[in-house]
Amino acid sequence: MARFETTIARPVSQGVEINKVLRNTYMLLSLTLLFSAGTAGLSMVMNFPPMGMIVTLVGYFGLLFLTSKFRNSVLGLVFVFALTGFMGLTLGPLLNFYLTALPNGEQVVMTALGGTGIIFIALSAYAVVTQKDFSFMGGMLMVGILVAFIAGLAAVLFSIPALSLAVSAMFILLMSGLILFQTSEIIHGGETNYITATVTLYVAIYNLFLSLLSILGVMGGDD
């Protein structure tokens, strides 16, 4: 009898823990998105110049490393906000560019923002409601993101607009897959650290928004 009760209690306990991780992840993600939006707004109001690719990459990977290193401590939360705040600062000059360079810049930015929100909510809801396991996508996403990242660097270094556009399209697909994968990992117990989960989803949302903005910007510029 005791063994039967233990068997029942274990899945219930595991389910409670998974729900806790999911709840904490979405709560922290909401706060970091608001904080990032605030720093982006500050960057826009202060008219900060673009930080440049090297500063952006060093800041991003450095803070990402520190967040991962201290993910099991309170310092992890500090570095999560440092990372997302920094990424918001890098976003401000880009938004100012789109708003001033395109005649319909505000529409382009709002469409990219709305599209990002719709895609994230739809994919997250699909993963949670269907309870499908997307863990098989892990390896493919890792390789795909690495290839897209290298291709993106090449597009910037050699000024190849067509390649840049192709990379943006790749990132939309890859980040959509990453949202499905990370949400699936949480609800199936593969990810138990809400700080790590938050950073992964934030990066997916950030890159999804940038990719949509890039494609919509080209379409808007053609008009």
Q: pLDDT tens-digit profile of 79-134?
A: 999 999 999 999 999 999 999 988 898 999 999 999 999 999 999 999 999 999 99
pTM, to two decimals: 0.91
**pLDDT tens column, 178-192:** 999 999 999 998 899
Which amino acid makes up residue 154? A
Domain range summary for the chain, segments of one domain joined by +: 21-222
**Would you say how long the chain is, in residues?**
223
Per-residue confidence (pLDDT) for residue 23, from 0 to 100? 93
Nearest to 171 by CA among 215, 124, 221, 121: 215
Per-residue confidence (pLDDT) for residue 12, from 0 to 100? 52
- Residue identified by tokens 């976003």 is 91
Whether 156 shows a pLDDT value over 60: the answer reads yes
With contact defined as beta carbons under 8 Å apart, do 22 and 186 qualify? yes
Summarize the confidence of residues 7-23 as an average pLDDT: 66
